[in-house]
Amino acid sequence: MSAEPHLAPPLPVSSAPPPPHEPLPEAVPPAVVATILATEHWSLLGTRGMLWNELMSRISIHLTVSSASLVGLALVAQATGFGTGFWVMAIGLTSMLLVLGSLTLLRVSIGSEEDHLLIAGMNRLRGAYRELAPGIEDAFVTSSSDDRQGVFATYFLGRSRPIPLHAISSTAFFLTCFNAMVAGALAALITYVSGGSVLLIALVGLAACAAYLVGNTMAAAVLFGRLGAPRPPEGPVAPEDGAGG
């Protein structure tokens, strides 16, 4: 007697209806968009405030250390006279001030770059406000464009001012001049201790001061010139001609 073939049980047929299509997302109400933009705006403002608090603290510490170093040199000169120990201490303290000043200047320069980007971000948010409420830009004192001209328009509060004047009155240029004078004093001290003449001491000090000033000014120009370059296009980059998958 042959065995009957084993048949697989039939698959159960579900009688449940197919899942409904997900509804299309509704447009976000303008009030919600305005709230989100305002929250981002206040976040950038808070970040900018903390940034400049940090930078001012760093500058205050540097200037305090510089003042204390001068007082220390004066006390050493009164106690020991202008002997070898005084000149060694003078060169050491001046070198320390130049290093601390250069590090402070570096942080201020980076902070100025970050501040430029924060201003550009807030200008971009004002552009979104303008799209939500056309005509509101007439009430803005600052710009709603995130390009280079828009950022400087926000810095100048809508007034016309030469950019070089803005640059030489900045905190970074102040520190650059301060550090340049320290660099000149350090070079003059080393030349004096080495036995150079008065003319050579003056020339070496002026050359070191000018070299530090020009070098850091050129570096700052390159840094902020990069900020004015156009941003790359967003989204995926299209493949070049001839590129295959």
In this predicted structure, what is the pLDDT of residue 32? 85
In this predicted structure, what is the pLDDT of residue 69? 92
In this predicted structure, what is the pLDDT of residue 17? 56
In this predicted structure, what is the pLDDT of residue 65? 94
In this predicted structure, what is the pLDDT of residue 149? 85
Q: What is the pLDDT of residues 5-47, one digit of tens each?
A: 555 555 455 555 555 555 545 677 878 888 888 899 999 999 9
Could you say which residues of the chain have pLDDT below 50? 1-4, 11, 24, 229-230, 232-245
Distances (CA, A) of 207 to 27, 105, 202, 219, 234: 65, 20, 9, 18, 46
Burial of 221 (0-12, 13-18, 19+ CB in 10 A): exposed
